[in-house]
Amino acid sequence: MDPIKRRLVLSGFPPKASDSFPPNPNSNGTSPDATPNSVTPQAPPNNETAYTESPPHLDFTNPPLVLVIGAGSRGTAYAGALLSCSNAIVACVAEPIASKRSSFAKKYIYEPQAESSPRLKDSGEAEFSDWKQWIKYERVRREREKAGEKVQRGIDAVFVCVLDEWHEEVVTGIVKEGWGLSVLCEKPLATTLSSCLNIFQVLKEDEEQRRKEGKKESVFGICHVLRYSPHNMLLSELVKERAVVGDVLGLEHVEPVGWWHFSHSYVRGNWRKESITAPSLLTKSCHDIDFILWLLCSPPAKASTQTPHLPSSVSSTGSLTFFRKERKPKEAGSATNCISCPYEPDCIYSAKKIYLDRHLKKGNTGWPVKIVNPDIEECYQTSGVEAASAKLLESLTEDYTPDAPVKEIETRPWFGRCVWESDNDVCDDQHVTITWDDDPVSKDDNGRLELNGRAKKTAQFHMTAFTEKICERRGRIYGTKGEIEYDSQTITVHDFATGETKVHRPHMPKESGHGGGDEGLIRQFITAVNAVDNQGMAAAEAQRKFLGCDLEEAFRSHAMVFAAEEARKERKFVDWENWWDDKVDMTLKVRENI
């Protein structure tokens, strides 16, 4: 069997009704759904005879070739998902850190695709120091191809997984080359409203120009992976397609970041300071704002031509409540680093306890340990736990003095730094309230409003650092006919009329990112790319059919975050329609006239 087909068979692809994969975002009634208080075993096929026919829109003779820009945690997660659940091939990687680039290439390009990889090791066409070097290579490759030379086939899609603040430059730079490559961008789209608007405008103009000239269109996707997990696909279906609780009147949604996770990423790590990244509501919780708008704003699949039920207002409160110098324990004295702190043995935020005791000594050399020192994994394997521990402690002792230049401090994370002495300033606890007004579809013969799910409602979101659970979202949905309670494992539906309560336990893929959301997103994106490139489907249709999210919808949830931040900082109530007219429509009109 062809090695690509074999890989898909062994991974359980293509999905069937009994598989554990999430359906496409506009499916109707096909989500994996167990009977109350039970879990239905859903094992993927484990032999070649289980393969019957190619999934729709997949061409095994011409699989998409993908460039991954950024070999960090998200780039590797998506590369792994791509190899496990699609017909695509990781063709090349762009990464400035040589060791990470080499490790990525070995794991995702050379070894798993030895029989089918279009790239030859050491050919200079699989590894690039950054995206700009790849651009130069691709320009030359296209010139050679145009001249009639036999060259490697060019890539079809790009995964942008660099730091958030680089997204604008990378995405717009690639799109402006005019090559018609599909792009999947890690969330958030960008770190400022202006940058998000620029990306939106560039993508829109490229889409319109390619359609006008009759050129092949390209797919754009944003990595809002919460939409694509089996759990959330079922939740969306229950709320929007089946309307099991009637019209939604209210929603409460919580993102429990996790006490030590927040200290790792948002106090000591890359996302700790708004001036160099963005507010935590964007960098951590744009997932959740998108999730809320997806459930309450986007129309159901059966009414896909219907306009979205847009919010009427947004307000927000929140601050940096705990991780600040005023809350530092007296016993810590003047210490600024955990390793030399007299309070360290009693401190729950001790970097030594979190990284060494909680993870490395228990055999975990992956996240978050490898974020502290990317060489830990190899050291652990070759020299053992003691050597790896010494290397880790060496990294944790790194600190800065009061006279260190601010720019130097901001260029990197400081994982051994005292959580009350860091330069962090992003919120560790925040609430967002979004409201909707009645927005009737029509009136019946008696003049009564036909709301069809577009009635007044309110959504309340809470992001907090101080939880045991790490990113295991939970919430409640209140409707006219019933109530839903959900966490990351189950969905409990109570029917007011019958008094019955039904518990759904969607299949949870083992060792999969975001409850299967990473794999679900990659599968749907690659299916959309196949549909456009090999079946001639329009990009807008493919994005709506397979990703369930067009460009404006992806942008809207980011805009909501910026509106909420404006409301929080200025302590005001934001009218959504007026804010959109002023900050979005007016800005785009001004740019068009420049």
| Digitized pLDDT (tens) for each residue of the chain, 594 residues in all | 344 443 443 333 333 333 333 334 433 333 333 333 333 333 333 333 322 334 445 555 678 999 999 999 899 999 999 998 888 999 999 999 998 999 999 999 987 655 555 454 545 689 999 999 999 999 999 999 999 999 989 999 999 999 999 999 999 999 999 999 999 999 999 999 999 999 999 999 999 999 999 998 999 999 999 999 999 999 999 999 999 999 999 999 999 999 999 999 999 999 999 999 999 999 999 999 999 999 999 988 777 678 899 999 999 999 999 999 999 999 999 999 999 999 999 999 999 999 999 999 999 999 999 999 989 989 999 999 999 999 999 999 999 999 999 999 999 999 999 999 999 999 999 999 999 999 877 777 777 777 877 899 999 999 999 999 999 999 999 999 999 999 989 999 999 999 999 999 998 776 667 888 999 999 999 999 999 999 989 999 999 999 999 899 999 999 999 999 999 999 999 999 999 999 999 888 887 776
Q: Are residues 24 and 138 in the same domain?
A: yes
Number of H helices and E strands in the chain, helices first, is 20, 17
Residue 479: strand pairing partners: 248
Say if 465 falls within a structural domain. no
**Could you please report the per-residue DSSP string of 455-503?**
S-EEEEEEEES--SSSS--EEEEEESSEEEEE-SS-EEEEETTT--EEE
Say if 247 falls within a structural domain. no
Question: Do the bridges between strand 574-575 and strand 313-319 make them parallel or antiparallel, or are there none, so unpaired?
Answer: antiparallel
Structural domain total, the chain: 2
Say if 380 falls within a structural domain. yes
Say if 592 falls within a structural domain. no
Number of Cβ within a 10 Å radius of residue 319:
13
Residue 337: strand pairing partners: 417
Q: Are residues 50 and 182 in the same domain?
A: yes
Structural domain ending residue among the three candidates 366, 384, 410: 410
Q: Residue-wise over 208-242: b if at least 16 C-beta within 10 A, else e? A: eebeeeeeebbbbbbbbbbbbbbbbbbbbbbbbbe
Structural domain ending residue among the three candidates 381, 410, 439: 410
Say if 279 falls within a structural domain. no
**Residue type at 393 in one-letter notation:** L
pTM of the model: 0.87
Q: Are residues 13 and 151 in the same domain?
A: yes
Structural domain ending residue among the three candidates 379, 410, 441: 410
Q: Are residues 57 and 181 in the same domain?
A: yes
Judged by DSSP in three states, 183 sits in strand
Which residues span the domain enclosing 175? 3-186+217-225+516-549
Say if 308 falls within a structural domain. no
Q: Are residues 405 and 525 in the same domain?
A: no
Say if 459 falls within a structural domain. no
Say if 15 falls within a structural domain. yes
**Could you please report the per-residue DSSP string of 245-293?**
TSSEEEEEEEEE--HHHHIIIIISSTTS-TTTS--HHHHTTHHHHHHHH
Question: Do the bridges between strand 182-185 and strand 429-436 make them parallel or antiparallel, or are there none, so unpaired?
Answer: unpaired
What CATH number did the domain enclosing 47 receive? 3.40.50.720
Helix (H) / strand (E) element for 314: namely strand 313-319
